[in-house]
């Protein structure tokens, strides 16, 4: 068996085209969705990610604002920036790029964002709405992108046993919450695994849908995947590789070359969940504007 490759680039592009079409209709009425991204410091990965978001905004016909500040920016200065964006009527979505410097309280900053503009879906108001099944929730982009990936690939979640490997507040916990919601993309029976889970390989082998978000390169091996299972790899890790010009390669949390031979469908890294995350950020920004007009 060789797995069907779930193409996150193609799926993400389709979603971004849908967003761009709706944005064009809104623009004809004089309405332009606006996204502000705040970047503190010079982290190369963060800068590259912010650049991708800017490009996606332009292609979607959205208003884009990037605010960059040095790593020495104080917490009070960052909170003042957030307050200003909260009051700006041209901005419908605010994203504070993580990670923040250690001297800044990340939770305090994320909680300061107006929940109506919280396109990352991290504010407690949106978390509560998501858990309760409120459709006005702005859902975290990565797990929401995984749901869309499953839906658009024709993968049935209803009645399936989904195992989520990882319990982070960014991916693992919201992923589980979305999978147990009523309706398309939900109605799954969900097990969340973590470092204290007993006989982790056996639990993973019980999955119809295995979602890896543990942050450990190639952690999921062939013997952890039930033949015919769907494997979604959320991880993205840099692994040293002197044979390559950059000196490293990107890999997920799944040993792809092994697991592609036993899974029925699998998402690659890169080219899987990553493009879906960007696409759902655009979709969330559009949703945030529509809910304010």
Q: pLDDT (tens digit, 9 = 90+) per residue, 100-151?
A: 999 999 999 999 999 999 999 999 999 999 999 999 999 999 999 999 999 9
Residues belonging to the active site:
53, 97, 120
Average pLDDT score over the chain = 95
Average pLDDT, integer, range 274-291: 96
Question: Based on the domain organization, do 155 and 237 belong to the same domain?
Answer: yes
Give the E-state strand segments of 88-195 in sequence order: 93-96, 161-165, 189-193
CATH of residue 237: 3.40.50.720
CATH of residue 69: 3.40.50.10860
Question: Based on the domain organization, do 207 and 96 belong to the same domain?
Answer: no
**pTM of the entire predicted model:** 0.95
Query: What total number of domains does the chain contain?
Result: 2
For residue 76, CA distances in Å to 27, 112, 116, 122 come to 35, 11, 22, 20
Question: Based on the domain organization, do 216 and 268 belong to the same domain?
Answer: yes
Question: Based on the domain organization, do 170 and 80 belong to the same domain?
Answer: no
**Which residues, 6+ apart, have CB-to-CB distance to 86 below 8 Å?**
94, 112, 113, 114, 117
The answer to whether the beta carbons of residues 75 and 106 sit under 8 Å apart is no
245 CB-side CA count, 13 A: 0
Q: Which domain holds residue 105?
A: 30-115
**Of the candidates 228, 255, 203, 246, the residue with the CA atom closest to the CA atom of residue 45:** 246
Question: Based on the domain organization, do 173 and 263 belong to the same domain?
Answer: yes
pLDDT at 1: 65
Question: Based on the domain organization, do 146 and 270 belong to the same domain?
Answer: yes
Asked whether residue 15 is domain-assigned, the answer is no
Report how far residue 106's alpha carbon sits from residue 96's, in angstroms, rounded to the nearest whole number.
Answer: 9
For the chain, give the percent of residues with pLDDT over 70.
100
- Please write the tens of the pLDDT for every residue from 60-103: 999 999 999 999 999 999 999 999 999 999 999 999 999 999 99
Asked whether residue 135 is domain-assigned, the answer is no
Asked whether residue 281 is domain-assigned, the answer is no
> Residue 185 above 90 pLDDT?
yes
Query: Beta-carbon neighbour count of residue 78 at 10 Å?
Result: 22
Give the E-state strand segments of the chain in sequence order: 4-5, 34-40, 63-69, 93-96, 161-165, 189-193, 209-212, 230-233, 237-240, 248-251, 265-266
pLDDT bucket at 2, cuts 50 / 70 / 90: confident
């Amino acid at each position: 068996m060789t797995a069907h490759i779930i193409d996150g680039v193609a799926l993400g592009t389709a979603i971004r085209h849908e967003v761009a079409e709706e944005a064009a209709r809104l623009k004809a009425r004089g309405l332009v969705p606006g996204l502000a991204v705040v970047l503190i410091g010079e982290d190369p990965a963060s800068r590259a990610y912010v650049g991708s978001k800017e490009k996606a905004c332009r292609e979607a016909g959205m208003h884009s604002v990037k605010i960059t500040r040095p790593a020495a920016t104080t917490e009070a200065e960052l909170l003042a920036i957030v307050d200003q964006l909260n009051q700006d009527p041209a901005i419908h979505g605010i994203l504070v790029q993580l990670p923040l410097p250690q001297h800044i309280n990340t939770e305090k900053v994320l909680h300061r964002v107006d929940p109506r503009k919280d396109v990352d879906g991290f504010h407690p108001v949106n978390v509560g709405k998501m858990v309760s099944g409120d459709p006005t929730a702005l859902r975290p982009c990565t797990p929401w992108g995984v749901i869309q990936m499953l839906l658009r690939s024709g993968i049935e979640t209803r009645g399936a046993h989904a195992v989520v490997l990882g319990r982070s507040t960014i991916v693992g916990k919201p992923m589980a919450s979305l999978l147990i919601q009523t309706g398309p993309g939900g109605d799954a029976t969900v097990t969340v695994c973590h470092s204290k889970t007993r006989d982790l390989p056996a639990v993973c082998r019980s999955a119809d849908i295995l979602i890896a978000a543990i942050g450990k390169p190639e952690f999921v091996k062939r013997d952890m995947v039930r033949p015919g299972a769907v494997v979604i790899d959320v991880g993205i890790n840099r692994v040293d590789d002197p044979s390559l010009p950059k000196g490293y390669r990107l890999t997920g949390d799944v040993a792809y070359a092994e697991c592609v031979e036993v899974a029925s469908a699998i998402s690659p890294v890169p080219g899987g969940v990553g493009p879906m995350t960007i696409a759902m950020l655009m979709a969330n920004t559009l949703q945030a504007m529509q809910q304010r007009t």
